[in-house]
Amino acid sequence: MQTVRKLSRPSVTEPAPSAPSWAVTTYFSSWIRRVSTTPAYRSRDSERDGSQSGPLWIEWPREDVVPLRQTQGYHDLSNGITIDRPRSLVATVVERLRQAIIDAELALGSELSEAGLASMLGVSRTPIREALTILQQQGMVNIIPQRGTYVFFPTEQDIIDLCEYRIVLESRAISFAMARHRDETTMQLERALDMMDRARADGDPVAYSRADTVFHEAFIRNCRNRYLQEGFEQVAGQIATLRTHLSVPIAGAQDRSYVHHREIVEAFKNGDILAIDAVLTDHILSTRKSYIEAMQEGLIKPPAAAVRVPAGLGRFSS
Protein backbone atom coordinates (compact mmCIF):
# COMPACT_ATOMS: atom_id res chain seq x y z
CA MET A 1 0.00 0.00 0.00
CA GLN A 2 1.48 3.31 -1.03
CA THR A 3 1.88 6.18 1.34
CA VAL A 4 0.64 9.63 0.50
CA ARG A 5 2.35 12.61 2.00
CA LYS A 6 0.60 14.68 4.60
CA LEU A 7 -0.84 17.86 3.20
CA SER A 8 0.22 20.93 5.09
CA ARG A 9 0.03 24.67 4.79
CA PRO A 10 3.12 26.35 3.39
CA SER A 11 4.96 28.63 5.75
CA VAL A 12 4.86 31.96 3.98
CA THR A 13 6.49 35.22 5.02
CA GLU A 14 4.75 38.33 3.69
CA PRO A 15 7.00 39.69 0.90
CA ALA A 16 8.36 43.19 1.09
CA PRO A 17 6.43 45.72 -1.02
CA SER A 18 9.36 45.90 -3.41
CA ALA A 19 9.44 42.15 -4.02
CA PRO A 20 8.42 41.29 -7.59
CA SER A 21 5.00 39.63 -7.92
CA TRP A 22 6.48 36.75 -9.87
CA ALA A 23 8.48 35.71 -6.81
CA VAL A 24 5.31 35.05 -4.80
CA THR A 25 3.67 33.27 -7.73
CA THR A 26 6.74 31.10 -8.21
CA TYR A 27 6.79 30.18 -4.52
CA PHE A 28 3.19 29.02 -4.47
CA SER A 29 3.60 27.23 -7.81
CA SER A 30 6.54 25.26 -6.41
CA TRP A 31 4.57 24.42 -3.26
CA ILE A 32 1.58 23.16 -5.20
CA ARG A 33 3.89 20.97 -7.31
CA ARG A 34 5.11 19.30 -4.15
CA VAL A 35 1.62 18.38 -2.95
CA SER A 36 1.01 14.67 -3.41
CA THR A 37 -2.49 13.78 -4.51
CA THR A 38 -2.49 10.74 -6.76
CA PRO A 39 0.39 8.53 -5.63
CA ALA A 40 0.35 6.30 -8.69
CA TYR A 41 1.56 9.11 -10.87
CA ARG A 42 4.84 11.02 -11.13
CA SER A 43 5.53 14.36 -12.69
CA ARG A 44 6.94 14.66 -16.16
CA ASP A 45 9.94 16.52 -14.73
CA SER A 46 10.75 13.63 -12.40
CA GLU A 47 10.44 11.19 -15.29
CA ARG A 48 12.97 13.19 -17.27
CA ASP A 49 15.53 13.84 -14.57
CA GLY A 50 14.98 10.67 -12.51
CA SER A 51 14.09 12.56 -9.33
CA GLN A 52 11.68 11.13 -6.78
CA SER A 53 10.39 14.43 -5.47
CA GLY A 54 6.78 13.40 -5.93
CA PRO A 55 4.08 14.14 -8.51
CA LEU A 56 2.75 17.43 -9.72
CA TRP A 57 -0.67 18.39 -8.47
CA ILE A 58 -2.17 17.76 -11.90
CA GLU A 59 -0.92 14.52 -13.37
CA TRP A 60 -2.23 11.69 -15.51
CA PRO A 61 -0.62 8.50 -16.82
CA ARG A 62 -0.21 9.96 -20.29
CA GLU A 63 1.08 13.45 -21.03
CA ASP A 64 -1.50 14.20 -23.68
CA VAL A 65 -4.57 12.76 -21.97
CA VAL A 66 -5.84 15.02 -19.19
CA PRO A 67 -8.89 14.37 -16.96
CA LEU A 68 -11.75 16.60 -18.07
CA ARG A 69 -12.24 18.27 -14.70
CA GLN A 70 -8.56 19.25 -14.61
CA THR A 71 -8.59 21.35 -17.76
CA GLN A 72 -9.33 25.06 -17.80
CA GLY A 73 -11.90 25.98 -20.44
CA TYR A 74 -11.66 22.40 -21.67
CA HIS A 75 -14.26 22.91 -24.40
CA ASP A 76 -11.76 25.22 -26.13
CA LEU A 77 -8.84 22.80 -26.02
CA SER A 78 -7.99 20.71 -29.06
CA ASN A 79 -4.68 19.15 -28.09
CA GLY A 80 -5.22 17.92 -24.53
CA ILE A 81 -3.06 20.80 -23.24
CA THR A 82 -2.19 20.53 -19.57
CA ILE A 83 -2.30 23.59 -17.34
CA ASP A 84 0.03 24.01 -14.40
CA ARG A 85 -1.30 26.77 -12.16
CA PRO A 86 -1.45 27.48 -8.43
CA ARG A 87 -4.53 26.28 -6.57
CA SER A 88 -6.00 27.53 -3.34
CA LEU A 89 -5.80 25.36 -0.26
CA VAL A 90 -9.55 24.74 -0.44
CA ALA A 91 -9.26 23.57 -4.06
CA THR A 92 -6.42 21.26 -3.06
CA VAL A 93 -8.48 19.75 -0.24
CA VAL A 94 -11.54 19.39 -2.49
CA GLU A 95 -9.62 17.47 -5.14
CA ARG A 96 -7.82 15.27 -2.62
CA LEU A 97 -11.05 14.28 -0.86
CA ARG A 98 -12.84 13.88 -4.18
CA GLN A 99 -10.16 11.50 -5.44
CA ALA A 100 -10.19 9.61 -2.13
CA ILE A 101 -13.92 8.98 -2.60
CA ILE A 102 -13.50 7.98 -6.25
CA ASP A 103 -10.59 5.63 -5.50
CA ALA A 104 -12.50 3.94 -2.64
CA GLU A 105 -10.15 5.22 0.05
CA LEU A 106 -13.33 6.56 1.64
CA ALA A 107 -16.20 4.07 1.72
CA LEU A 108 -19.63 4.90 0.38
CA GLY A 109 -21.81 6.06 3.26
CA SER A 110 -18.89 6.75 5.61
CA GLU A 111 -19.33 9.57 8.08
CA LEU A 112 -16.73 12.30 7.77
CA SER A 113 -15.51 14.33 10.70
CA GLU A 114 -14.26 17.85 10.04
CA ALA A 115 -11.84 17.56 12.95
CA GLY A 116 -10.60 14.15 11.82
CA LEU A 117 -10.09 15.25 8.23
CA ALA A 118 -8.33 18.41 9.36
CA SER A 119 -5.97 16.38 11.52
CA MET A 120 -5.22 13.87 8.78
CA LEU A 121 -4.59 16.52 6.13
CA GLY A 122 -2.71 18.87 8.42
CA VAL A 123 -4.99 21.86 7.80
CA SER A 124 -7.49 23.83 9.87
CA ARG A 125 -11.20 23.01 9.92
CA THR A 126 -12.12 26.03 7.80
CA PRO A 127 -10.84 24.71 4.43
CA ILE A 128 -12.28 21.29 5.31
CA ARG A 129 -15.70 22.82 5.92
CA GLU A 130 -15.55 24.78 2.67
CA ALA A 131 -14.35 21.74 0.74
CA LEU A 132 -17.19 19.57 2.06
CA THR A 133 -19.71 22.22 1.00
CA ILE A 134 -18.29 22.14 -2.53
CA LEU A 135 -18.33 18.34 -2.57
CA GLN A 136 -21.97 18.40 -1.52
CA GLN A 137 -22.74 20.58 -4.54
CA GLN A 138 -20.98 17.96 -6.69
CA GLY A 139 -23.11 15.19 -5.18
CA MET A 140 -20.11 13.53 -3.56
CA VAL A 141 -21.16 14.01 0.08
CA ASN A 142 -24.38 14.59 1.97
CA ILE A 143 -24.42 17.14 4.78
CA ILE A 144 -27.28 16.43 7.19
CA PRO A 145 -27.89 19.19 9.77
CA GLN A 146 -27.54 18.04 13.38
CA ARG A 147 -26.37 14.62 12.23
CA GLY A 148 -23.17 14.83 10.25
CA THR A 149 -21.51 14.65 6.84
CA TYR A 150 -21.44 11.40 4.87
CA VAL A 151 -19.97 10.14 1.63
CA PHE A 152 -22.93 9.71 -0.70
CA PHE A 153 -24.53 6.27 -0.91
CA PRO A 154 -26.83 5.77 -3.92
CA THR A 155 -30.19 4.04 -3.91
CA GLU A 156 -31.11 1.63 -6.69
CA GLN A 157 -33.27 4.37 -8.21
CA ASP A 158 -30.31 6.75 -8.15
CA ILE A 159 -28.31 4.24 -10.17
CA ILE A 160 -31.15 3.73 -12.66
CA ASP A 161 -31.62 7.48 -13.13
CA LEU A 162 -27.90 8.12 -13.47
CA CYS A 163 -27.43 5.42 -16.10
CA GLU A 164 -30.40 6.67 -18.12
CA TYR A 165 -28.91 10.16 -17.99
CA ARG A 166 -25.59 8.78 -19.19
CA ILE A 167 -27.16 7.04 -22.18
CA VAL A 168 -28.83 10.24 -23.36
CA LEU A 169 -25.87 12.53 -22.73
CA GLU A 170 -22.99 10.32 -23.87
CA SER A 171 -24.69 9.13 -27.05
CA ARG A 172 -25.20 12.73 -28.19
CA ALA A 173 -21.72 13.76 -27.10
CA ILE A 174 -20.04 10.97 -29.04
CA SER A 175 -22.01 11.78 -32.20
CA PHE A 176 -20.87 15.42 -31.97
CA ALA A 177 -17.30 14.33 -31.26
CA MET A 178 -17.34 12.18 -34.40
CA ALA A 179 -18.67 15.04 -36.52
CA ARG A 180 -16.37 17.73 -35.10
CA HIS A 181 -13.15 16.12 -33.91
CA ARG A 182 -13.10 12.56 -35.17
CA ASP A 183 -9.33 12.08 -35.49
CA GLU A 184 -8.51 13.62 -32.12
CA THR A 185 -11.24 11.62 -30.38
CA THR A 186 -10.08 8.39 -32.02
CA MET A 187 -6.54 9.00 -30.80
CA GLN A 188 -7.70 9.67 -27.23
CA LEU A 189 -9.98 6.62 -27.17
CA GLU A 190 -7.13 4.38 -28.34
CA ARG A 191 -4.81 5.77 -25.67
CA ALA A 192 -7.41 5.20 -22.98
CA LEU A 193 -7.81 1.64 -24.23
CA ASP A 194 -4.04 1.17 -23.96
CA MET A 195 -4.26 2.37 -20.36
CA MET A 196 -6.95 -0.24 -19.73
CA ASP A 197 -4.69 -2.91 -21.22
CA ARG A 198 -1.88 -1.98 -18.83
CA ALA A 199 -4.21 -1.86 -15.84
CA ARG A 200 -5.60 -5.30 -16.67
CA ALA A 201 -2.09 -6.71 -17.08
CA ASP A 202 -1.11 -5.22 -13.72
CA GLY A 203 -4.27 -6.42 -12.00
CA ASP A 204 -4.98 -2.85 -10.88
CA PRO A 205 -8.75 -2.19 -10.70
CA VAL A 206 -8.33 1.42 -9.59
CA ALA A 207 -6.07 2.20 -12.56
CA TYR A 208 -8.60 0.48 -14.81
CA SER A 209 -11.40 2.65 -13.44
CA ARG A 210 -9.32 5.76 -14.03
CA ALA A 211 -8.65 4.71 -17.61
CA ASP A 212 -12.38 4.03 -18.02
CA THR A 213 -13.08 7.57 -16.86
CA VAL A 214 -10.57 8.98 -19.37
CA PHE A 215 -12.24 6.97 -22.13
CA HIS A 216 -15.70 8.41 -21.55
CA GLU A 217 -14.39 11.93 -20.95
CA ALA A 218 -12.94 11.86 -24.47
CA PHE A 219 -16.50 12.03 -25.86
CA ILE A 220 -17.33 14.98 -23.66
CA ARG A 221 -14.09 16.87 -24.22
CA ASN A 222 -14.38 16.66 -28.00
CA CYS A 223 -18.12 17.23 -28.44
CA ARG A 224 -17.43 20.99 -28.17
CA ASN A 225 -20.80 21.71 -26.57
CA ARG A 226 -20.42 23.44 -23.23
CA TYR A 227 -23.94 22.59 -22.06
CA LEU A 228 -23.34 18.88 -22.54
CA GLN A 229 -19.99 19.29 -20.81
CA GLU A 230 -21.50 21.13 -17.86
CA GLY A 231 -24.25 18.52 -17.60
CA PHE A 232 -21.64 15.78 -17.50
CA GLU A 233 -19.60 17.60 -14.85
CA GLN A 234 -22.60 17.58 -12.52
CA VAL A 235 -22.47 13.79 -12.30
CA ALA A 236 -18.87 12.99 -13.29
CA GLY A 237 -17.70 12.42 -9.72
CA GLN A 238 -20.56 10.07 -8.90
CA ILE A 239 -20.05 8.11 -12.12
CA ALA A 240 -16.33 7.66 -11.43
CA THR A 241 -17.02 6.69 -7.81
CA LEU A 242 -19.59 4.05 -8.69
CA ARG A 243 -17.28 2.73 -11.39
CA THR A 244 -14.64 1.98 -8.74
CA HIS A 245 -16.83 0.92 -5.81
CA LEU A 246 -19.46 -1.18 -7.54
CA SER A 247 -17.87 -2.77 -10.59
CA VAL A 248 -14.88 -4.35 -8.84
CA PRO A 249 -16.83 -6.87 -6.70
CA ILE A 250 -18.77 -8.36 -9.65
CA ALA A 251 -16.99 -11.29 -11.29
CA GLY A 252 -16.42 -10.72 -15.00
CA ALA A 253 -17.54 -7.07 -14.91
CA GLN A 254 -14.15 -5.77 -16.01
CA ASP A 255 -13.90 -8.27 -18.87
CA ARG A 256 -17.32 -7.26 -20.20
CA SER A 257 -16.44 -3.61 -19.81
CA TYR A 258 -13.20 -4.01 -21.76
CA VAL A 259 -14.95 -5.79 -24.66
CA HIS A 260 -17.53 -3.01 -24.87
CA HIS A 261 -14.87 -0.30 -24.93
CA ARG A 262 -12.92 -2.05 -27.68
CA GLU A 263 -16.11 -2.40 -29.74
CA ILE A 264 -16.85 1.31 -29.29
CA VAL A 265 -13.38 2.21 -30.56
CA GLU A 266 -13.74 0.02 -33.64
CA ALA A 267 -17.20 1.41 -34.44
CA PHE A 268 -15.94 4.96 -33.96
CA LYS A 269 -13.00 4.40 -36.31
CA ASN A 270 -15.44 3.02 -38.89
CA GLY A 271 -17.78 6.00 -38.49
CA ASP A 272 -20.68 3.72 -37.55
CA ILE A 273 -22.73 5.88 -35.18
CA LEU A 274 -25.59 3.38 -35.02
CA ALA A 275 -23.23 0.64 -33.85
CA ILE A 276 -21.73 3.02 -31.29
CA ASP A 277 -25.16 3.87 -29.89
CA ALA A 278 -26.04 0.19 -29.62
CA VAL A 279 -22.80 -0.80 -27.88
CA LEU A 280 -22.78 2.26 -25.61
CA THR A 281 -26.37 1.64 -24.52
CA ASP A 282 -25.65 -2.05 -23.91
CA HIS A 283 -22.51 -1.11 -21.97
CA ILE A 284 -24.28 1.35 -19.67
CA LEU A 285 -27.25 -0.98 -19.10
CA SER A 286 -24.83 -3.81 -18.29
CA THR A 287 -23.07 -1.47 -15.89
CA ARG A 288 -26.39 -0.61 -14.25
CA LYS A 289 -27.18 -4.30 -13.82
CA SER A 290 -23.77 -4.95 -12.22
CA TYR A 291 -24.16 -2.03 -9.82
CA ILE A 292 -27.61 -3.09 -8.67
CA GLU A 293 -26.49 -6.71 -8.26
CA ALA A 294 -23.58 -5.57 -6.12
CA MET A 295 -25.95 -3.69 -3.84
CA GLN A 296 -28.59 -6.43 -3.70
CA GLU A 297 -26.01 -9.09 -2.86
CA GLY A 298 -24.55 -6.96 -0.09
CA LEU A 299 -21.18 -6.64 -1.78
CA ILE A 300 -21.50 -2.91 -1.29
CA LYS A 301 -23.37 -1.57 1.71
CA PRO A 302 -23.21 1.36 4.12
CA PRO A 303 -20.96 0.92 7.15
CA ALA A 304 -22.77 -0.87 9.98
CA ALA A 305 -21.52 1.82 12.33
CA ALA A 306 -20.46 5.28 11.26
CA VAL A 307 -16.74 5.86 11.59
CA ARG A 308 -15.55 9.42 12.10
CA VAL A 309 -12.33 8.90 10.13
CA PRO A 310 -12.40 5.68 8.06
CA ALA A 311 -9.29 3.52 8.34
CA GLY A 312 -8.48 4.03 4.65
CA LEU A 313 -7.93 7.70 5.28
CA GLY A 314 -4.73 6.85 7.11
CA ARG A 315 -3.06 6.81 3.71
CA PHE A 316 -3.21 10.60 3.75
CA SER A 317 -0.52 10.75 6.40
CA SER A 318 3.19 10.12 6.01
* Residue 114's CATH number: 1.10.10.10
Indicate whether 227 and 267 sit together in one domain.
yes
Going by pLDDT thresholds of 50, 70 and 90, the confidence category of residue 249 is low
Residue 61 located in a structural domain: no
How many folded domains does the chain comprise? Answer: 2
Query: Is the whole model's pTM more than 0.85, yes or no?
Result: no
Q: How does the average pLDDT of the chain come out, rounded?
A: 75
Indicate whether 140 and 265 sit together in one domain.
no
Query: How does pLDDT run across 74-128, given as a tens digit for each residue?
Result: 334 344 444 444 569 999 999 999 999 998 899 899 999 999 999 999 999 999 9
Higher pLDDT: 268 or 249? It is: 268
Full domain range(s) for residue 183 = 156-296
* Residue 170's CATH number: 1.20.120.530
Task: Please tell me the predicted confidence (pLDDT) of residue 248.
Answer: 60
For residue 318, what are the CA distances in angstroms to 6, 11, 278? 5, 19, 47
Catalogue the E-assigned strands of the chain: 111-112, 141-144, 148-151
Indicate whether 171 and 202 sit together in one domain.
yes
Indicate whether 106 and 212 sit together in one domain.
no
Residue 199 located in a structural domain: yes
Determine what percent of the chain is predicted with pLDDT higher than 70.
66
Indicate whether 278 and 310 sit together in one domain.
no
Give the separation between CA 65 and CA 188, rounded to whole angstroms: 7
Indicate whether 131 and 162 sit together in one domain.
no
Query: How does pLDDT run across 40-63, given as a tens digit for each residue?
Result: 333 333 333 343 333 323 233 333
Indicate whether 132 and 184 sit together in one domain.
no
